[in-house]
Structure formats: C-alpha cells, structure tokens
Amino acid sequence: MEGPFQLVESVIDTVVTKATPAVFLIRRVEETEKYAYYKGRLGRAPHGTLRQNLKRWLSSDYRVFCFEYVQGENTIFDRQCILWHNLGGPVGKLDNKQHPEPNEGQTTKCPVCFSNNSRHNP
C-alpha cells in the first residue's frame, strides 16, 4: 500500500492520481496510559471513487490514509479481505465490525476464509 499520507483534502488531491479501483485504510491514534497505537478502517473504492471515498472521512477522527490501486472488482474484494484478516478485524487493528462482503451480484468468496475452509473440508 502507498502511504501513510495525512488525511487532508490537498494531500488526497495530490496523491490520488488514477481513476481505477482501490482499497484504502484510514487510521487514527488510540492512546492508553502506557502506549499509543493505530486503529483503522478498511474500505474499497470502485472505479474512479477513491478521492470521494477518502474525502467523506475528512471531518472524522481518522488522521492518515494508505491506499492501493487494484485491477477489477474481484481483485478489490480479495485484497480487502486479505487486509482485513491480516489486521485482525475488529479484535485487531480495525474499527470494521463485519468481514467484507462482495458487491451485489458478485459470486467471489473471501480467499482467506475459503482457503481455511478448504483445508478442513476436503
């Protein structure tokens, strides 16, 4: 993924240069008495919508973003799922409460869940 970049309009307009599908991660800092850590939210942006998807979070408590351009709707879903699992979902480093779902009409399955199920159900 590219970034992190400051989540401000001028930076979004400068670094988001393509109108292709993308996955993105926005982050905020959580602090405890002993340490600070990032907590984030994963999202996906269909063809040409990354800028507007990021800008809707400008007034939130998220402060930085990362993104990755991908090719095709199935790939965007696969990449979002892989990142969701790698970041531990809601018990890990994400605010997303639910596992990503494919878009309406897509028949693809999560590559991580499908792979894990395949090992246990030959």
Rounded Cα gap, residues 120 and 76, in angstroms: 26
Task: Assign 23 a pLDDT band (cuts: 50, 70, 90).
Answer: very high
pLDDT at 57: 95
Q: Is 31 left (phi over 0), alpha (psi -120 to 50) or beta?
A: beta
The pLDDT of residue 7 is above 80: yes
Instruction: Work out the mean pLDDT of the chain and round it to a whole number.
Output: 86
Half-sphere exposure in the Cβ direction for 35 (13 Å, CA): 3
Predicted confidence at residue 116, as pLDDT, reads 64
Task: Mention every residue, 6+ apart, whose C-beta is less than 8 A from residue 120.
Answer: none
pLDDT in tens, 44-91: 888 789 999 999 999 999 999 999 999 887 788 999 999 999 998 888
Q: Is the pLDDT of residue 39 over 90?
A: no
Beta bridge partners of 67: 2, 24
Q: CA 21 to CA 10: how far, in whole Å?
A: 21
- For the segment 17-37, the average pLDDT, to the nearest whole number, is 83
Confidence (pLDDT) at 85: 93
Q: How far apart are CA 29 and CA 31, in angstroms?
A: 6
| pLDDT at 106 (0 to 100) | 83
Task: Please state, in angstroms and rounded to a whole number, the distance separating the CA atoms of residues 119 and 122.
Answer: 6
